[in-house]
Chain A
Amino acid sequence: MAEQTKTSEEHYIASYHNRRSNGGKNAPEWLRLLQDEAIERFQSLGFPTVKHEEWQFTNIAPFLKTALAPSTPAAANVRREILEEFLVHSDAPVIVLVDGYFEEALSSVPDSTGIRVQRYDAVSAQQPSEQTLSALAEISSASQKNPFSALSLALTQNVIMIDVPEGAQVSQPVHVLHLSTQTGKEAAMVSSPTLLVHAGKESSLLLLEVFTGAADADYGVVSAAGVVIQEGATVDHVRVQREGAKAFHFGTLAVRQERKSRYTAFSLAMGGSIARTDVTIAIDGEDCETMLDGLYISAGEQLVDHHTFIDHRYPNCSSREIFKGIVTGKSRAVFNGKIYVHHEAQGTDSKQTNKNLLLSNEATVDTKPQLEIFADDVKCTHGATVGGLDPAGLFYLKSRAIDEEAARDLLTLGFAGEVTAFIRDESIRHLIDALIVKQLQTMVAHTALPEIVH
């Protein structure tokens, strides 16, 4: 069969051209031009191997073996109840994408929310706004080096744009839910949602982005998000990745901050068989503040990988990055955090930590904090740890009548709680804590957990 002799790259490139020639109306013309560029870039980059420095610990062979087809719209309706688990309030503004396609029936963003939501796809072929193009440029820029960012842009079904007008204070958390169903589909599919965010001057936005999917389905998500935060604006961005256990997830997050802006991100990653997230934060003005925190939880034979890059280009900015990991079973966690301080970026205050709780002898952590400093007047620290549960803590808990298993769970939750404490919005924090408890429960099948917490 001819199919089998094709390389994975050829498979995706052919899929792209197929979709194009089959009616070719997947996207408006301006977007198609961008996508043509993206597929060319993908073609020249090719998929990475472990020989590639950035992919040293992340062998994507299982993904390459599974030739995924670009997703088609879900055949069956999705029940809203599936999503409720991820909603902070039942009436919160919500944008739902099912298998990469915008789902009108499940989405609702009242005007009172204070944002404009635009979508660019075959259905609504409008011209892009200036804001849209500037947020898209961040993804394009990430795709210069990352083949998955390029592929995501090329294959995207929908571009969703959240436009926060100048001065708007959006207090309700805006939910963006990416759901992979695989309902009624023969072949394993890949969806490639694109999310753009543009926060205008002095505005503020609270965003909760969730990736989730059918527990035992084979599927892939190759997603990209581009975020631009203008002068004096604030974006709080909480991301949850709880894909199904067999899924592949390759996510790009590219952020650009203009002067005096503030970006606070928290990422909870716990799903997928191979889950890789690439985060780039370009600090593009003075007096910015960046907080990039996260927690990953891996079990079984999962591989979870975070590559983050904070690019300090301007003076007097601060960044704080705390990533923690709970690594169990035979899973593997990779963390690579690079902080680059340009010669111009005097007065940079940057702190990065990666702490891993290794709960099994068969699990592996590869952590690599990297600091590259070319300015002289800076305050930068970084560090990484890998260790088990504190025996002194364990004994202390037991001496207070807490059983071994519950004591371990409590210490593990505490480890996670130290970083979720940074989530500023209380209701989102509670949601995240509940998702963590649920995950630990399914992983370790401990019954004590809910009792401890409630």
Chain B
Amino acid sequence: MNDTQMKDEYMLEIKNLHASVAGKEILRGINLTVNAGEVHAVMGPNGSGKSTLAQVLAGHPSYEITEGEVIYKGKNLLEMPPEERAKDGVFLAFQYPVEIPGVSNSYFLKAGLNEVRKYRGLETLDALQFLKLLKEKMKIVEMDPSFINRPVNEGFSGGEKKRNEILQMAVLEPTLAILDETDSGLDIDALRIVSEGVNTLKRPDNACIVVTHYQRLLNYIVPDFVHVLVNGRIVKSGGKELALELEANGYDQIKEAATV
């Protein structure tokens, strides 16, 4: 295959991505390619830049891109404002979901979904239609209907916030979902529910990047590829067995290898 043909097939192509915050370089040349239907796990020690990568893909304004490019569905992702990315199917499940006081979960989700639908050329949903859809989606993550009218994430426990992220993913039906440590702070039951939710939403035409610190989640969401991020670079990539290897040996070996 020649280059252009390859390009058309990629959903996401990250090329030599460098990003810094407050003058400090965090991402130092990331290369990563994701195809439709794939699940990629990004693992790595704390502070290695996993969340930075996730936030940069979602368009967080605090990060400055100093080098490289990101092509998403053939478009220059980095030139799109965050809301445009979301409309076009990019979804980030935040490591730390934000509380929005005074705005109900349903207002919020309906506003987002209708924007996405407009972008996709679909009719917007009215309050009743939306409520029906929301209730179906809440079943996927086993969320109590009382969360419909509660202010977004306010007073939610850590686990409830993470479930709410997956609920949003279920409602918005993204093409590229990036889950940033969705497993952290979850007990075994919640972990199962969240993972099952993610698996239910998996389709041949969408893809998922699962950022995690632990192997545990990958027992539930089985990745096609595992990448190890250390110090702003992907230092090793492999199949799902790489995760087990990391679990057994820790990050130290890889870290050492990376620093040489």
Does chain A have a CB within 8 A of B6?
no
A400 touches B168 (CB 8 A): yes
A-B contact pairs, 6 of them (CB 8 A): A399-B82, A399-B85, A400-B109, A400-B168, A407-B83, A414-B103
| Cβ of B251 under 8 Å from chain A | no
B100, A396: Cβ atoms closer than 8 Å: yes
CB-contacts of A376-407 with B (<8 A): 390-393, 395-404, 406-407
Determine, out of A144-152, A231-239, A275-283, A415-423, the stretch whose residues face the partner at the interface: A415-423
Closest chain A residue to B84, Cβ basis:
A401
B214 at the interface (CB under 8 A from A): no
Residues of A within 8 A of B86 (CB): 398-402
Chain A residue contacts of B101, Cβ below 8 A = 414-415, 417-418
Could you say which residues of chain A place their CB within 8 Å of the CB of B60? 395
Is the beta-carbon distance between B111 and A410 smaller than 8 angstroms?
yes
Shortest distance between the CB of A242 and any CB in chain B (Å): 21
Do A401 and B116 contact each other (CB < 8 Å), given the known contacts A393-B98, A410-B111? yes
Known contacts A398-B82, A399-B82; A410/B97 CB under 8 A: no
The minimal Cβ–Cβ distance linking B258 to chain A, given in whole angstroms, is 30
Q: B111 to A414, Cβ gap below 8 A?
A: no
Interface positions, chain B 99-129, Cβ under 8 Å from A, are 99-103, 107-109, 111-116, 119, 127
Q: Would A402 and B115 count as touching, CB distance under 8 A?
A: yes
Query: Which residues of A pack against B, CB within 8 Å?
Result: 390-393, 395-404, 406-407, 410-411, 413-418, 421, 451-454
A-B contact count (CB 8 A): 92
Contact between A414 and B100, CB atoms less than 8 A apart: yes
Whether the Cβ atoms of B102 and A416 lie closer than 8 Å is yes
Q: Give every chain A residue within 8 A of B115 (Cβ-Cβ).
A: 401-403, 406
Q: Is the CB of B100 within 8 A of A417?
A: no
Q: Is the CB of B58 within 8 A of A399?
A: yes
Q: Which residues of A contact B100 (CB under 8 A)?
A: 393, 396-397, 410-411, 414
Is B40 an interface position by the 8 A CB rule? no
Q: Using Cβ atoms and an 8 Å threshold, which residues of chain B touch A410?
A: 100, 103, 107-108, 111
Measured in the bound complex, the distance between the Cα atoms of B151 and A397 in whole Å is 13
Task: Decide: B107 and A395 in contact? CB cutoff 8 A.
Answer: no
Given contacts A395-B61, A401-B115, A410-B103, list 8 more A-B pairs with CB under 8 A. A393-B98, A397-B108, A400-B111, A410-B100, A410-B108, A414-B102, A417-B151, A451-B111
B72 contacts A by Cβ under 8 Å: no
Residues of B within 8 Å of A453, CB to CB, are 107
**Residue B172 lies at the interface, judged by CB distance under 8 Å to chain A:** yes
Q: How far is the CB of B256 from chain A (nearest CB, A)?
A: 36
Nearest chain B CB to A81's CB is how many angstroms away? 27
User: In the complex, A150→B58 CA distance in Å?
Assistant: 60
Smallest CB-CB A-B distances: 8 pairs: A414-B102, A417-B102, A400-B112, A414-B103, A401-B86, A396-B98, A418-B102, A401-B115
Question: What residues on B are CB-neighbors of A390 within 8 Å?
Answer: 98
Given known pairs A414-B101, A452-B111, A453-B107, the reply for A401 and B87 (CB within 8 Å) is yes
Q: How far is the CA of A392 from the CA of B151 in the complex (A)?
A: 16
**A401 surroundings in chain B (CB, below 8 A):** 83, 86-87, 112-113, 115-116, 119, 172
Interface residues of B in 61-97 (CB under 8 A from A): 61, 81-83, 85-87, 91-92, 94, 97
Task: Provide the residues of chain B in CB contact with A397, threshold 8 Å.
Answer: 100, 108, 111-112
